Structure formats: structure tokens, C-alpha cells
Amino acid sequence: MADKVIYAMYDDDDTTKDAAKHLVSKGVHVSEVYSPFPIHGIDPIIGVKHTRLGINAFLYGITGTMLAMIAIRFMMIQDWPMNIGGKPNFSFFYNIPSFVPILFEFTVLCAAHGMAFTYLLRNKTLPGMPARNPDPRTTDDRFVIELKLEDNHGFTAEQLTAWVKETEIVELEEKVIK
Amino acid sequence: MHKESDIRIPLILGDKSYRDITDDIIRPIESKAPKGWYILISLSGLFALWGVGCIVYLLGTGIGTWGLNKTVEWAWDITNFVWWVGIGHAGTLISAVLLLFRQKWRMAINRAAEAMTIFAVMMAGLFPLIHMGRLWVGYWVFPLPNQFGSMWVNFNSPLLWDVFAISTYFSVGLVFWYIGLIPDFATIRDRVTKPVAKKAYSILSFGWTGGAKAWNRFEIVSLVLAGLATPLVFSVHSIVSFDFATSVIPGWHTTIFPPYFVAGAVFSGFAMVQTLMLILRKAFKLEAYLHTKHVEYMNIVIITTGSIVGVAYITELFISWYSGVEYEAYAFLNRATGPYWWAYWSMMTCNVISPQLFWFKKLRTSLTFTFIMSIIVNIGMWFERFVIIVTSIHRDYVPSSWSYFHPTWVDIGVYVGTMGVFGVLYLLFARYFPVMPIAELKTILKSSGANFKQGYGHGAGYWDKHAHHDHDDHGSHHESHIEASVETETVPPVVADPPVVENTEEASTEEETKNEEE
């Protein structure tokens, strides 16, 4: 079935937010909002859940600490206990103070890179990916609210357009996606 | 968003719209490079080639081409290493620590400072690698399985900590920087018309779309990376200082080193940011985004960290006497009065005395004076490392092995060469990358733009309509009052100033601040 998409364009972040509020109050589901910079406060309006990337970073960090501990214990204690300056490496526990810097660095390394990589994957942003913003101006000074007919079964396209026209739009575009 | 106090000086001057911000920052990329750019890059390129030549000669001949001798076995190489790492501290500090403290003025400088950080750390990393003498086995510093039996690197050694610290710092800094760049590359991608540029920027932008969820993730990633980078930035220079502090050389094994090195690093890093940004803002006509107030904020950081460094120098001196350890006492007495007195007193003058001039408001808001000071500070910080390293070891325990260090042309060539490579990289960055975060600047336009704050041009009447818009953040309203009252003590109010449209030239901003004082 062909799906119809309505793109309502605005020229200000506040009017975009007001428009989203207006549409949502009519029971419309807003599929996406494209903007050149983060619009603070729009997420709860259009029902975007807060990201869980922070939890991810913590898990990656913990993994990093564990990996570093295992590796250092194997290399310094088990495989070849070095004895430098009469300070032997007999037990991980007694030698841990001098391992702290690397444990910390490796934790940060894993947390930061793990999080960054997950972020790129989840956003579908990788080298060579095509841009999916509906209008090139949305990365400059235009804001676009995207409404999909598929997500709004209860309404007709005409009804949605009428509601969109009640807001302070600067441009309106309808597209049919096969 | 809540209305920012009128007492706070706007961060974006003139009458800017979102479009203007995009235009202003992309203009240098879209237009032809000025003649000055070609001159500078050729000059840097020449220095860089000279440096590469010196490195090749050094690798072919041996470390003996440096002026090192059996007493001074560490000199310019490690001095330059620490100097570059120190410079590389401002970028992450600006983007991470200032982000956590919600300092909006950082947005004028964070992108360029992060670039500076990354290039500076690259230059720093070069020195230990060269010093190994066998550049091609540089990867031996990593704990890799190898053909020599169970030959692992020593995890107790501060030199290995350094390997991990510097490589983590470099790669995390790079990721942090690039994640911020992606949306701005998308902006360029959607504007340029030349096919090659379009293709290049569309690859660089990773297909960024700017959806609501993407921005939500963007903000959290920035925040968490900032949270991770903050302890990282402090750890890196602490670990660099451990290279000395964990040794048993009088003059090196002092517990004050970590905080003292970190403060010194921030000090020199901000000075370098000043040097580079003062040129950049002028060349790219970005005076509206980086004006006297930003420079003053940076000078305040410089005076704070400079004073910390000064206190550290004097503490060191005092403790060396107070400890009663005669070797320690001699090491410091020798620094100030021995054959290297000139290095010690250059350091003292450049780092301790001269930044104190920034207590005068006239001086810290003068761009010319700031530029000169930034160079003095960088010279001073180079001497600091030189003093710590060379003067502590040039007089060994046995007077027969006392010696004096003379740099050779290779020493000088490699150092100048790294400046050349740095210059080339930085100039390329300035030419092809957005030098200020376009997306982030747009987020502060309404709260900190002069036109919105003073209600003219694009911002006319905005806050009259929106002042009571948000009911959800009374807490932050309250906070802003507190901030405002603190601010009044130091900054005279400028509420009644007439709107300064298009009045962003250097001279006029200076005049403006003079008026403020009156």
C-alpha cells in the first residue's frame, strides 16, 4: 500500500515545538522532527524516549575494567611475574595500586569508544550512509515535522493537512512513498 | 529555555539569525582561501619538511645526533613531548570540563581547541617514538604477544602508563571531536554545490539526518563523553608527571607534580588557544562569535592556573629547603643560581610574574596584549619543562660527570619541524572543517545572542513573548538570579547599551569594553 507522508516546514524552533504540541493534542502521531540543532523539550511532546546510551557506556566501562584486570593479572602475575627493583609481582591484590592508572585508562577507552560506536550504529550514521533528511535546509535553519499516514490510521490526509495548516508553517509538502 | 540575566554580556554579537551562523562559519570553506593561508601553509610545510628531514637523518644515524650526553640523557625530546601534551590539554578541558559546568562561552572555541589538542598530542607522541631510535618497532610499547617468549610490557612502569594515557587521550579526544563535527559536516554537505566537495562532505557527515532521537542521543553522548574525558584529562598530565615523580632524582621526585603539571598544562593550553584563535577570528571574520568577553574569560583561566603554577614553584623551593635533604635543596638552589639560572628566571618571569598583569582589566581585555602574553606563556612553559628536566640531571652526584647540555641542529630541527607539521594540520583544519560548532552555536543564539537579549533585529520582542513560556524550570530561574548577583561584583552592568549592529570589529569591541568600565 502506498503511504503518504506530510512534511510541514517551520523556520523557528519554538514554533516547531508549538506546532508539535498542537498536532499531538489532536491525537496525531508525529513520526519525526528534523532540525539543525537539538530542540530542547520536544522529545516528551512527540513521545521520543530518553536514550539508554548512558547505561551502555557504563556497561562498556565495566567490561573494560574487567578486561584490563584479567589481562594485567595474566601478564604480570601469572605468565611472567617481573621483579623490578626488588618489588616482585606475586599477587594481583598487593600490586594493584600500580595497576590503577592503566585500569582507569582502559575503562575510559572502552566506555568512550563503545558508546561512540553504539551511537553511530543506532543513529545509522556510518561512512557512506546516504542522508535521509527530507530537505537540505533542515541542517541550516529549517525545521520539519514529518507525519506518516501509516502511523495515523484514524485520520485522512486532508484532515492532517488541515491541522498542519493551523500551525505557523512556512512550507508544506506531501509525498507518496511506494 | 529560560531568559538569561541581562547583566551577562551576550556571547553572539550583532543581529544574527540561524542562517547567518551557518553562513558565517561555512564562508571560509566555501570561498577561495586567502593569500595569507597559502603563505602560511607553505611556510609550515617547509618547516615540516625540514623536521622530517631531521628525523630521517636522526633515525639513520642514531640518537647521538642529539646533544645528549651521559649525564643529560633526557633533554629536548622529553621537554618537547611534555610541552606538546600540555598544549593538548586545553581542548578537552574546554569541551569537557566547561561542558559539565554549562559554560556557554566554550562554544566559540571548543571545536578549534579540540583540533589543536589532537594535533598537539600527535606531535607529542612523536618524541618518545623517535627517542626509541627504532621508530618501526614503536608498537612494542603495547602488550602484544610476541616471539620473545613471555615478554610483556611492565605494567608497574609510569612509562607504560603514559602509553595508555596518551593513546586513550588521543583516541577519545578524536572521537569526541568527530561526533561534534558530524552534524556540522551534514550542514556543509547540504549546502555545497561542487560535486567533489559534496561527495567528500557526505562521506564525512556519515549520513547525519538530524532527527529528534538522533539529537537526543547526541546530547547524551556529548555529556557522557565529557564526563569520561574530565577525569581523563586530569589523569593524562598526572601520569606524564609520574614519569618524573616516581623516579628518585632530586628535583623530580616531588609529590606536588601531578596537580602542578595539570595546572601548567591548562595554563599553556589556553595560551595556545589564545594565540591560534586570535588569528583565526580575525582571518575568518568571526569576531561576532569570539569577542573580548571570551578572550577575557580565557585570560581569567590563564591567571588562575598561572597562579597555581606560581604557588607550586614556590612551594617546591620551600619544601626543598624545609625537607632537610641536602641533595634536594641543592637541586633547587642550583636551578635558580647554577649554570641554568637564565632558564629558571625566564620560566619565573614568563609563568609567574607576567600573567599577574591580567589582574588589570584593561590588559586582560586588550587583544594585542593577550596575544603577546599568550606567546610569552608558551615560551615560559617550554622553559618550565626544560628547567625541570635538564637542570635536575645536569649535575650528577659525582662532580666529574657534571655537564652542560647544548642542543644540536637536529634537536632544533625536530622541534621546529613538529611546529611545522602542527601548522600544516591546523591550517588544513581551518580551511576545510567548520572552525566553530554550528549546531551548538544555534542552540545558544536565543539565550545569549545580543539581538535576542536586547530585543532588536531578529530577536525583537522574542523574550517579551517567551519570558513566561516555561513553567517547568523555576529552579533554573532561581539559579540564574544567583549567578547574576555574583556577576555584578566583577562586571559592571551594560543593560542600557544601545544595540551594537554590525559593530564587531576588533577596535570597536575594545572601545565597548572601555565604555563598560566607565
Hey, are the CB atoms on B224 and A128 less than 8 Å from each other? no
Q: What is the pLDDT of residue B479?
A: 41
> Per-residue pLDDT averaged across B153-164, rounded?
89
pLDDT tens-digit profile of B8-64? Answer: 888 888 888 888 888 888 888 888 888 888 999 999 999 999 999 999 999 889 888
Distances (CA, A) of B489 to B385, B483, B485, B486: 37, 11, 7, 6
Q: What is the average pLDDT value for chain B, to the nearest integer?
A: 84
- Using a CB-CB cut-off of 8 Å, the residues of chain A touching B156 are 76, 82, 84, 87, 89, 95, 98-99
- Which regions of chain A are under pLDDT 70? 1-2, 178
Give the three cell numbers for residue B295. Answer: 578572550
Give the three cell numbers for residue B232. Answer: 581523563
Hey, are the CB atoms on A75 and B232 less than 8 Å from each other? no
Q: Is the pLDDT of residue B511 over 80?
A: no
Between helices B257-283 and B76-87, what is the axis angle to 10°?
70
Same domain, B330 and B453: no
Q: Total domain count for chain B?
A: 2
Same domain, A71 and A88: yes
Contacts of B503 (CB under 8 A, 6+ apart): B13, B14, B509, B512
Q: What is the pLDDT of residue A178?
A: 61
Hey, are the CB atoms on A139 and B186 less than 8 Å from each other? yes
Distance from CA of A111 to the nearest CA of B (A): 8
Same domain, B395 and B463: no
Same domain, A109 and A166: no
Distance in angstroms (rounded) separating the CA atoms of residues B247 and B252: 7
Closest CA to A115 of A53, A63, A51, A65: A53
Distance in angstroms (rounded) separating the CA atoms of residues B211 and B224: 20
User: What's the pTM?
Assistant: 0.87
Distance in angstroms (rounded) separating the CA atoms of residues B476 and B474: 5
Q: In chain A, which residue's Cα lies nearest the Cα of B170? A: A109
Same domain, A43 and A74: no
Q: Total domain count for chain A?
A: 2
∠ CA B263-B268-B270, nearest 5°, is 95
Hey, are the CB atoms on A38 and B439 less than 8 Å from each other? yes
Same domain, A10 and A23: yes
Chosen for mutation from A16, A37, A59 (greatest number of chain B CBs closer than 10 Å) is A37
Distance from CA of B413 to the nearest CA of A (A): 33
Query: A-B interface: how many C-beta pairs under 8 angstroms?
Result: 208
Q: Which helix (H) or strand (E) holds B221?
A: helix B212-245
Contacts of B484 (CB under 8 A, 6+ apart): B5, B7, B8
> Per-residue pLDDT averaged across B4-11, rounded?
81
Q: What is the pLDDT of residue B425?
A: 94
Same domain, A57 and A113: yes
Judged by a CB distance cut-off of 8 A, whether residue B247 touches chain A is: no
Same domain, A109 and A62: yes
Q: What count of other Cβ atoms lies within 10 Å of the Cβ of residue B365?
A: 23
Residue among B161, B176, B190 whose CB faces A140 most closely: B190
Closest CA to B115 of B273, B286, B266: B273
pLDDT tens-digit profile of B222-268? Answer: 999 999 988 998 999 899 999 899 888 888 888 899 998 999 998 99
Residue among B156, B232, B443 whose CB faces A84 most closely: B156
How buried is B406 (Cβ within 10 angstroms: 0-12 exposed, 13-18 middle, 19+ buried)?
exposed
Judged by a CB distance cut-off of 8 A, whether residue B461 touches chain A is: no
Distance in angstroms (rounded) separating the CA atoms of residues B240 and B255: 13
Phi, psi dihedrals of residue A24, rounded to the nearest 5°: -65, -35
Rama region for B210: left / alpha / beta (φ>0; ψ in -120 to 50; rest): left
Hey, are the CB atoms on B442 and A128 less than 8 Å from each other? no
DSSP B120-182: HHHHHHHHHHHHTS-GGGGGGGS----SSSS----TT-HHHHHHHHHHHHHHHHHHHHHHHHH
Hey, are the CB atoms on A57 and B228 less than 8 Å from each other? yes
Hey, are the CB atoms on B214 and A54 less than 8 Å from each other? no
Same domain, B135 and B250: yes
Residue B313 placed within a domain: yes
Grade residue B468 by pLDDT with cuts at 50, 70 and 90.
low
Residue B8 placed within a domain: no
Same domain, B335 and B426: yes
Same domain, A99 and A57: yes
Restricting to B residues 476-495, those with a Cβ less than 8 Å away from any Cβ of A are none
Residue among B186, B224, B440 whose CB faces A115 most closely: B224
Chosen for mutation from A7, A23, A70, A119 (greatest number of chain B CBs closer than 10 Å) is A119
Distance in angstroms (rounded) separating the CA atoms of residues B227 and B223: 6
pLDDT tens-digit profile of B421-463? Answer: 999 999 999 989 999 998 888 888 888 888 887 878 777 777 7
Judged by a CB distance cut-off of 8 A, whether residue B467 touches chain A is: no
Q: What is the DSSP letter of B472?
A: S
Residue A128 placed within a domain: no
Same domain, A82 and A112: yes
Q: What is the pLDDT of residue B7?
A: 81
Hey, are the CB atoms on A131 and B190 less than 8 Å from each other? yes
Residue B2 placed within a domain: no
Q: In chain B, which residue's Cα lies nearest the Cα of A57? A: B224
Distance from CA of A158 to the nearest CA of B (A): 25
Same domain, A104 and A152: no
Same domain, B363 and B477: no
Hey, are the CB atoms on A137 and B190 less than 8 Å from each other? yes
Distance from CA of B410 to the nearest CA of A (A): 34
How buried is A2 (Cβ within 10 angstroms: 0-12 exposed, 13-18 middle, 19+ buried)?
exposed
How buried is B412 (Cβ within 10 angstroms: 0-12 exposed, 13-18 middle, 19+ buried)?
middle
∠ CA B79-B84-B86, nearest 5°, is 95
- Using a CB-CB cut-off of 8 Å, the residues of chain B touching A115 are 221, 224-225
Domain boundary pick from A79, A95, A122: A122
Q: In chain B, which residue's Cα lies nearest the Cα of A133? A: B209
Judged by a CB distance cut-off of 8 A, whether residue B166 touches chain A is: no
Q: In chain A, which residue's Cα lies nearest the Cα of B188? A: A139
Hey, are the CB atoms on B235 and A105 less than 8 Å from each other? yes
Structural contact between residues B158 and B239, judged by C-beta atoms closer than 8 angstroms: yes
Judged by a CB distance cut-off of 8 A, whether residue B463 touches chain A is: no
Same domain, B171 and B230: yes
- Using a CB-CB cut-off of 8 Å, the residues of chain A touching B442 are 36-37
Chosen for mutation from B179, B190, B466 (greatest number of chain A CBs closer than 10 Å) is B190
Same domain, B505 and B373: no
pLDDT tens-digit profile of B341-394? Answer: 999 999 999 999 999 999 998 988 898 999 999 999 999 999 999 999 999 888
CA atoms within 13 A on the CB side of B338: 18
Distance in angstroms (rounded) separating the CA atoms of residues B327 and B318: 14
Same domain, A100 and A161: no
pLDDT tens-digit profile of B143-157? Answer: 888 777 668 888 888
Q: Is the pLDDT of residue B303 over 70?
A: yes
If DSSP codes are grouped into helix, strand and coil, which group holds residue B336? Answer: helix
Grade residue B485 by pLDDT with cuts at 50, 70 and 90.
very low
* Domain that residue A93 falls in: 53-122
* Domain that residue B503 falls in: 449-517
Distance in angstroms (rounded) separating the CA atoms of residues B350 and B332: 19
Residue B160 belongs to a domain with what CATH number? 1.20.1630.10
Q: What is the DSSP letter of B449?
A: B
Hey, are the CB atoms on B217 and A119 less than 8 Å from each other? yes
Hey, are the CB atoms on B164 and A101 less than 8 Å from each other? yes
pLDDT tens-digit profile of B106-125? Answer: 888 888 899 999 999 999 98
- Using a CB-CB cut-off of 8 Å, the residues of chain B touching A102 are 155, 160-161, 164
